[in-house]
Structure 1
Amino acid sequence: MLYQFMHSLLPKTVQTAFCASVGSALVALDPYAKESAPIVIQSWKSLPGEKKLLRQVVDGIAEIAFAIWPRWYDQNLEALRSPLMETEGLPVYRRLSGSVANLSVPWLKKAVRKAIGGELPTVSRKSLSYEAQLRQLALTLSLGKLRIVLAVTGLECSPHRGQSLARIARLLAVHCPAGVALLLPDSSLGKGEWDSVAYQAIHLPVCDVIPKMENSGTDKQAYHLCFLGKPHPCSPGEQELAKQLGHYPQLQGLFEFNKRIRLSPSREYTVDMVWEAGRLIVEVDGYQFHSSRVSFVQDRRRDRDFVLNQYRIMRFAHNEVMTDPALVMHQIAEAVNTPYPFPLNEDRQ
């Protein structure tokens, strides 16, 4: 039933499902996300205020745009990486402004600089409203089949925050435009805050895994799943580390997956794994979006930024994680047991 629900989502619409278990519905979405059109999945146990909620949703769309950069607007914007892009990029900007309806060139220039610098292509709310940023970010994807899933896993939320999420769901449907799925616990059924998005809502029992979609034609490099708080379902390396953590009782509960860390109002990064209390970051390199020379440079720039903010970073190649996960976990456990800052030791491996 979840398969039919997701498959029937249309652009510019919000479809609500009241779920016996929102958590099982999210797990069941994994195969759909891998085989279907690009999808953003964001979930909250407890909803934040409307301004923070909207910012998190904007960042979720920006994650996709950053992941597929420089393939924006169904084009390769590699030429904009030039150090002289302010002058050499003018023909590119002129061409895009003539071919992409509603494009904001000033926003695009700022977004390009952010992406080149290894940051999410977002700007301050003072520069451009979140609503306008959603429209501009959606234009970069230009895929026509974007799906956005907003899920509430907690059983209780305040009415005014529920109303905020409902408003944001409608805003996404109009501004992106996208098919928006709202997954709510069945305890929310009949509550007034959801009336605006509950028209033709369905009820989902505990979900089984969705069958694979045949011949979806999805371009794997044009797909990115924003799965904050969980190992990325398209990264076998992260999935393996999550499984291995279960064999190390001393590490359980320490690490968070795909966590956003804000170092300043203008600098925020998503890391693969982080032990926040110990300021230890673990990154898995060399899979899908992290294999280009430019990504390599951006990763090192980001690493320096973290080090200057007193974080430790451990980078492992994807093949390293998959071929010898026990050794990788041993080294992570050793790092957890090493105080920071620690004395330099040239013999330490």
Structure 2
Amino acid sequence: MADDTSRKRKVRGRKIRSDRSQKEGRRAKKELARTASNARERNGDTPLADPADITPEPFVETDAVESIRDRITGWLEADQPVHLIGPTGCGKTALALSAAAERGRPVVWLNGDEAVDTAALVGAHAGGERYTEDDRFVSGVSKQTEIVRERWVDNPLSVAVREGATLVYNEFSRSDPAAHNVLLSVFEEGVLERPGKRGEDRTIEVHPEFRAIVTSNDAEYAGVHRQQDALLDRFVGVHVDYYDEQTERDVVEAHVDLPEDDIETIVGTTRALRDDLEIVVGTRAAITAAKGLTVFDGRGGDEDGQFEDELLVDVFTDVLAPKVAEAGVEDIEELRSTIAETV
């Protein structure tokens, strides 16, 4: 009889140890996940940004700017991903961030380049996590088991679709088109697949408030990849060009402290060079030139006190020279000559 009782206790004891051990393991895993998540938040290691923090400063809101931003936000309200296309330096990124901030939802920023692959978008295993199960349910016996498991870290796209954020994907066309295959199911089926992730949570159901804005330079720019038609068909394309002259003046004035006449000269020169040169002369070039002119004492001695022509030539040559520097010194001299003729 005693033997039977002893046998039953042992059987029951093994079941209790097994059940409690599993519970302790699950508890440890949850605590580990919470700790890791809290640590990421404390360290700022999260791609989510408050919309108020990403609004470009300064950002000029003229009628021309508001008109195109309203088109972007309108398409986002219609649940359409938006592809902003236009020349470099025309303000696509600022527009995208401003439109994203207008939604009032968290924003996730991503910058495209050759190194972006599927893992950079959806996440990957990032080392291992260790925790210890300590079994002390039998008197006088202590058993410790160290468990190592792979730790998965979500990247910007996964976070954006899960949290209902606005994804701003800058320089979208500089990334390899193969990396963007995961976007097809996001836009079509409302599901994100995470290749490499195992288990039931391999997919994420797209949050109904998720939206995407991507920006690209025109197709003829160096380093730009042609994206697959199946994906481009799911975007609406909004072409962004250089603004009218008054808007460009307002943009430059927001960045530098110069008299109105000086800004008029800088913007006028920029627009003339845009017509005369084969390279891209964007609004950004006007802003850079204006910043340079604020630190050089090169005003003429006449009554209007305008910048000397030679100084304007020097500054615009410095600003635009990187676009032809790889071609050689002769091309820089030719650039300077063209700028001098324009000025």
Q: Using structure 1 for the length normalisation, give the TM-score.
A: 0.30
Q: Greater helix percent: which structure?
A: 2
Q: Using structure 2 for the length normalisation, give the TM-score.
A: 0.30
Structure with bigger gyration radius: 2
